[in-house]
A = this chain, B = another copy of it.
Amino acid sequence: MFVLDSRLQLDTVVLGDFALCQLLLSKDANYPWFILVPKRPGVSELFDLDAAEQHQLWQETTQLAVALKASYGADKMNVATLGNVVSQLHMHVIVRMQGDAAWPAPVWGKCPAVSYSDEQVQVIRQRVRALQLEGFKEAADVA
């Protein structure tokens, strides 16, 4: 059974679900920082997924990246799966803007996280809803 890693539970808000992945928002208001987590147990590397699941992950990743780039007018999308700390496979999809807190460095470990207000998270939920992402089901807001 799929259970979200405890560190990810702590550091993110669940926005909803695609066919394969749960969509999370990192609790760091420095950047619009999204994370896709395939809802498969015991998966750490991309290639631990079967071929169809890998294809689905790429599709969900790309669809999200395209839509976020347009919505935010991003200068660059950063797409990465690292997993050195949290081994559960997760794909970062991060909106980067010239002049953001870490620019042009990668975001990890660069700047202390800045908290979101509940209202700010609501605004992001609305923005994601407006993206009308294919196959996306919004999570109930349990905040």
- Residues in A104-133 with C-beta less than 8 Å from chain B: 104-106, 108-109
Asked whether B85 lies within 8 Å of A104 as measured between CB atoms, the reply is: yes
The answer, yes or no, to whether A81 is at the interface (CB within 8 Å) is yes
Asked whether B77 lies within 8 Å of A45 as measured between CB atoms, the reply is: yes
Q: Which of B61, B69, B96, B109 contacts A106 (CB 8 A)?
A: B109
| Given A105-B109, A106-B108, A65 and B47 contact (CB-CB distance below 8 Å) | yes
The interface residues of chain B lying within 8 Å CB-to-CB of A73 are none
The interface residues of chain B lying within 8 Å CB-to-CB of A55 are 55, 58
The answer, yes or no, to whether A62 is at the interface (CB within 8 Å) is yes
Interface centre among A44, A55, A58 (most CB of B within 10 A): A58
| Given A62-B47, A65-B46, A105-B109, A82 and B87 contact (CB-CB distance below 8 Å) | no
7 contacting pairs across A/B (C-beta < 8 A): A47-B65, A58-B58, A76-B82, A78-B81, A79-B80, A106-B106, A106-B109
Give me the interface of A with B, judged by CB distance under 8 Å. Answer: 44-47, 54-55, 58, 61-62, 65-66, 69, 76-85, 87, 96, 103-106, 108-109
